[in-house]
Amino acid sequence: MFELKVESSFSAAHHLLNYNGECENQHGHNWKVEAYFRDIKLDKSNLLIDFKVLKKELNIILDTLDHKDLNTLTDFSGISPSSEILSRYIFKKLKEKIPQTYKISVWETERACASYFEE
């Protein structure tokens, strides 16, 4: 099994719904996103997927989130756009373009992240 990882980032504001604490107030993060890809086979160039393709497709998704108030986006209507929800959202969007998408980790600080993957 081969595994690749690319990283990117975006900045956005959000607030958590049904939460009792500081995060119920509007605040922002500089999220780091790690995208993992797995497969057992390589292409004729002995690549799983070209890193350029992975970065491009990930950044297309992140550009829709960058410098936005996530709570106002249709995809997060009525739900808390938490790191957990963001990791699942990015995973589903990326998997549509790159079937080998295995896992997405969304870091809201240097020491805290949420990941989403499917078995």
**Residue 7 maps to which CATH number?**
3.30.479.10
End-to-end alpha carbon distance in the chain:
15
Residue whose token pair is 């805290």: 112
- Taking the C-alpha atoms of residue 113 and residue 83, their distance in angstroms, rounded to an integer, is 7
Please count the structural domains in the chain.
1
Q: Are 30 and 11 in contact (CB under 8 A)?
A: yes
Cα angle for residues 63, 68, 73 (degrees, 5° grid): 95
Q: What is the pLDDT of residue 85?
A: 98
Using a pLDDT cut of 70, give the percent of the chain over it: 100
Q: Two tokens at 77?
A: 């209507």
> Does the structure show a pLDDT above 90 at 119?
no
Residue whose token pair is 């549509």: 96
The pLDDT tens digits of the residues spanning 42-84 come to: 999 999 999 999 999 999 999 999 999 999 999 999 999 999 9
* DSSP letter assigned to residue 55: H
Q: Specify the pTM.
A: 0.96
- Taking the C-alpha atoms of residue 48 and residue 80, their distance in angstroms, rounded to an integer, is 35
The domain containing residue 80 runs over which residues?
A: 2-117
